[in-house]
Chains A and B, each alone.
Chain A
Amino acid sequence: MRISSKRLIATAIVASLALAACGGDDDTTPAADEPAADGMAQVSGTLIGAGSSAQAAAMAAWQAGFQATNPDATIEYDPIGSGGGREQFLAGATDFAGSDAFLKDEEYQTSIDRCVGDQGAINLPHYISPIAVAYNLPGVDSLNLTSAVIAGIFAGTITKWNDPAIADANAGAVLPDEDINPVHRSDESGTTENFSDYLAAVQPDIWTFGKVKAWPDGIGGEGAPQTSGVVQALKAGEGSIGYADASQVGDLSVALIGVGDSFVAYTPEAAAKSVEVSNRVEGRSPYDFGFSLDRTTTEAGVYPITLVSYHIVCLQYDDQAKVDLIKSFMEYAGSEEGQNAAAAAAGSAPISADLRAQLLESVNAVTLAG
């Protein structure tokens, strides 16, 4: 009875694309049309993915970069949201999923049935993006915020810019006697989910709402649609503060976040480090890189408010062409070149060389079911 018309439509589109792709495969292409192979193994065919809209901009860069070297390959990606992406992948409608959260335990169990063989699906953290806390307060160019202050502001317990809690961490700054206007996402969002996860992890006594996709009722603040809406609201309203994807905050001032005894600015390196200090989720394939992000780290130089978006793929497929496509595309997305392309297009933080090497091993573990 739970019919999702959107899913039906999406499935229909996917099905028709798949048919179209099959039709293409049946054609016997004249050898003259094949581009000369120059060392790198070229792949062809269509790969279909859906999911996270956070990595949509990076995905566009990956698609362009990948198809430049593999003109016969097509990567389709529908940014329908992380939940929908995992749902479609587990239903077998797509070849891979993009998701701001790794597969939950029960979803991992489902993936063992969905994928060929018995190894299930793995999470590949190919997209790491810092979430900036940006503010609009003329005259205050630099602002240090401890986690307790951030939680207090967004939970509505700290309401004035000259609150002693803020002044303590900002000696010398002239803070106005103005109301704070916290801005949040009015739509459900992975950004909100990661931001609230951070607040809930570091200050559970102040932020009592847990990890949520939709902003909780009753704590006030100004709601704005999508990242662009939040940035617009911040620019329009003096005294505002909000959280948004770091690449999108433009010329707004950005707060330094208290980690341990120091204050950390968001940089790609500091954001990438947040993954390195975190633990991998247990009970999965050895090739799985789902990270339970350690928001409470006190290690210097780690920016704790990050969003990690995964590519979720099966370890085994029943079609050699698909295996080649998946491996080739995922290798590219996780390569230095692919990571730099995403950083240029979406402002993401390139993953470290160490993690790159580990992820490559995982990608190479994808095989044809035997």
Chain B
Amino acid sequence: MSTDTIDDTDRTPTGGFAAEPVSKVGDRVFSGLSRGAGIIILVTLAGVAMFLVWNAMPALTASSKEIGPGGDEGNGKGFLSYVGTLAFGTVWAALLALLIAVPFGVAIALYISHYAPKRLSRTLGYVIDLLAAIPSVVYGLWGIFVLAPTMADHVYPWFSDHLGFVPMFSGKVLASGRSMATVALVLAVMILPIITAISREVFLQTPRLNEEAALALGATRWEMIRIAVLPYGKSGVISGAMLGLGRALGETMAVALILAPANVYSLKLFTSQNPNTIAANIALQFPESTGLEVNTLIATGLVLFAITLFVNLMSRRAARGNIF
């Protein structure tokens, strides 16, 4: 930038040029407040991390015989064996939910941004946002009383009968439907709003010129979306998906209410043997835990914290377009 060019940002609101930066009391107060808020967030995060590490230490350093089910009597199998299936279940459930929710979320977002009539799109967007306002315990109750029995009666048996050769669909269908498939469906509904909302916003921001250029070249509406809208919105979709993944990883009540847990590594979706998630396991076991059992649960919380942190970092990078 050459020195004789005057940048607009140097102008004061009245249009003149200030000899020195304006600094009134309000300015200093506001900058102080916002800096304070920023620092408090960092301190809180550090505090949570320290709490987790400090309280997890006894479980991480104890002899493996004391950790896990039966640890009271010295029959435990150790922390890694305990947290392994939980971490697996957490990631597996969240990935399944993502697999279901992303195509739906993107399709809904495209419909709202490019297909639906104006009035309908506004209503639809509002309804989708409303989904995010439903408490997760309500999703859990709906899942266990409505979704699980319905799916177990009408849907899962069909998959099991016709696609049973696929490992995921094999095994005996659990009659109450409290299986991984139901959890994944409920989680998918729960993360749908955030994926839809973020995708919709980025699709709406596609430069009008790009879209019109595509149409002028003879593209149909679908082709226009494919060559103009989707590439432009890709990073938004990815960061929306990552945020959804973060929520699915940490979801507690819905999973705790629905899932029939067992301490196993299993990819099967319909059986009674499902790996539990970390958050749901803490909710399940905490009320009657004492001493080292509490430390063990907090240590699993630390693992969840690490997983979530990793996902969030990835989503940051994805939003900047540094991966994929």
A contacts, CB < 8 Å to B: 1-7, 53, 80-84, 87, 179, 181, 186-189, 212-214, 216-218, 220-225, 229, 232-233, 236-240
Q: Which of B288-311 contact A (CB under 8 A)?
A: 288-292, 294-295, 298
Chain A residue numbers with a CB within 8 Å of B288 are 53, 80-84, 187-189
Q: Which residue of B lies closest to A182 (CB)?
A: B272
- Knowing A186-B260, A222-B178, the reply to whether A236 touches B148 (Cβ < 8 A) is yes
A-B contact pairs, 11 of them (CB 8 A): A6-B286, A87-B291, A212-B70, A217-B262, A220-B273, A222-B174, A224-B178, A225-B284, A233-B178, A236-B148, A237-B176
Kindly state the separation between the CA atoms of A87 and B70 in the bound complex, as whole angstroms.
18
The bracket for how many chain B residues form the interface is 35 or more
| Distance from B270 Cβ to chain A, minimum over Cβ atoms (Å) | 12
Q: Mark B275-290, 1 if CB is under 8 A from A, else 0.
A: 0100000001111111
17 additional contacts, CB 8 Å, given A222-B174, A237-B152? A1-B57, A3-B54, A81-B289, A84-B289, A84-B290, A186-B276, A187-B284, A188-B285, A188-B289, A189-B288, A216-B69, A217-B263, A221-B262, A222-B178, A225-B256, A229-B257, A236-B177
**Which of A2, A232, A239 is close to B291, meaning CB atoms less than 8 Å apart?**
A2
B105 interface residue (CB < 8 Å to A): no
Chain A residue numbers with a CB within 8 Å of B128 are none
Kindly state the separation between the CA atoms of A179 and B285 in the bound complex, as whole angstroms.
29
| Distance from A42 Cβ to chain B, minimum over Cβ atoms (Å) | 35
B65 interface residue (CB < 8 Å to A): no
Q: A239 contacts B260, CB within 8 Å?
A: no
- Knowing A223-B260, A224-B260, the reply to whether A238 touches B289 (Cβ < 8 A) is no
B53 interface residue (CB < 8 Å to A): no
Q: Which residue of B lies closest to A136 (CB)?
A: B175
- Knowing A5-B55, A186-B260, the reply to whether A81 touches B290 (Cβ < 8 A) is yes
Among the interface residues B177, B256, B272, B286, which one has the most CB atoms of the partner chain A within 10 A? B272
Q: Which of B247-276 contact A (CB under 8 A)?
A: 256-257, 260-264, 272-273, 276
Q: Which residue of B lies closest to A234 (CB)?
A: B176
Chain B residue numbers with a CB within 8 Å of A5 are 55, 294, 298
Q: A237 contacts B174, CB within 8 Å?
A: yes
Can you list the 4 inter-chain pairs with the closest CB atoms, starting with the nearest? Answer: A81-B288, A237-B175, A236-B176, A237-B176
| Distance from A191 Cβ to chain B, minimum over Cβ atoms (Å) | 11
Kindly state the separation between the CA atoms of A187 and B259 in the bound complex, as whole angstroms.
12
Q: B176 contacts A233, CB within 8 Å?
A: yes
| Distance from A152 Cβ to chain B, minimum over Cβ atoms (Å) | 18
Kindly state the separation between the CA atoms of A239 and B173 in the bound complex, as whole angstroms.
12
B58 interface residue (CB < 8 Å to A): yes
Kindly state the separation between the CA atoms of A213 and B272 in the bound complex, as whole angstroms.
20
B contacts, CB < 8 Å to A: 54-55, 57-58, 61, 69-70, 72, 144, 148-149, 152, 172, 174-178, 256-257, 260-264, 272-273, 276, 284-292, 294-295, 298
Q: A3 contacts B69, CB within 8 Å?
A: no
Q: B290 contacts A87, CB within 8 Å?
A: yes
| Distance from A259 Cβ to chain B, minimum over Cβ atoms (Å) | 29
Q: A81 contacts B175, CB within 8 Å?
A: no
**Which of A7, A217, A240 is close to B175, meaning CB atoms less than 8 Å apart?**
A240
Chain A residue numbers with a CB within 8 Å of B256 are 225
- Knowing A81-B287, A187-B285, the reply to whether A214 touches B70 (Cβ < 8 A) is yes
- Knowing A181-B174, A220-B272, the reply to whether A3 touches B58 (Cβ < 8 A) is yes
**Which of A84, A223, A229 is close to B262, meaning CB atoms less than 8 Å apart?**
A223
Q: Which residue of B lies closest to A188 (CB)?
A: B288
Q: B262 contacts A220, CB within 8 Å?
A: yes
Kindly state the separation between the CA atoms of A213 and B149 in the bound complex, as whole angstroms.
29
| Distance from B86 Cβ to chain A, minimum over Cβ atoms (Å) | 13
Q: Which residue of B lies closest to A238 (CB)?
A: B175
Q: A233 contacts B290, CB within 8 Å?
A: no
Kindly state the separation between the CA atoms of A2 and B55 in the bound complex, as whole angstroms.
8
Q: Which residue of B lies closest to A82 (CB)?
A: B288
Kindly state the separation between the CA atoms of A239 and B272 in the bound complex, as whole angstroms.
13
